[in-house]
Structure 1
Amino acid sequence: MFQGESLTFYTYARVDEGRGNRWAYTGLRNFFFCDEASAREALRELRGDIESDPDDTWAPMQLEKIETVPVSRESVLALLNDGIGAFVKRYEIIETLD
């Protein structure tokens, strides 16, 4: 990996329009994937697990594409000290699964 290179990853999250900071810590772990297909498959599996439990209800989730800030010693330190939000340059919602 070259220093200064931005990276692209994929993730998913619960739709929460009331949350002001997408990357604020919620107590739930984020999962990241190298490609959209892997993220989409993980989200389908999660939905299947939730829907198979009669005591649980599926809530809308969004599939997201993120681009990191350029990788550097400083940006990795920001990631470690301040959380994922300090490492995300931009993100976009690819799809919402209702």
Structure 2
Amino acid sequence: MADYAILVDFRLKPGARGAFRRLIDDNARASVAREPGCRRFDVLEPKGEDDRIVLYEIYDDRAAFDAHMQTDHFLSFDRDSSDLVAAKSVVEFALVLEGSG
């Protein structure tokens, strides 16, 4: 199976950034620490956009991502952050080359 990457773009409700960051940071740390199929989970803040957070995640395959979405830490994040999010978009990718520095 192909490596799997995902980009999630959150548009937050005004003033929600701090609370959202606490929730997503906990989810990102738990995902990398507890999920063998989660290789990368970056939380990005676009410059000049206080109400936007972007995630970049890499998994061994789609099955690993599906397993991620069933974990307690993801389900808690999803539930607890829902009132903080105005809009969300998701783009799925096949990771064809993983660069290294």
TM over 0.5: same fold?
no
Greater gyration radius = 1
Q: More strand per residue: 1 or 2?
A: 2
Q: More helix per residue: 1 or 2?
A: 2
TM, length-normalised to structure 2: 0.36
TM, length-normalised to structure 1: 0.37
Ranked by relative contact order (alpha carbons within 8 Å, sequence separation 6 or more), the top structure is 2
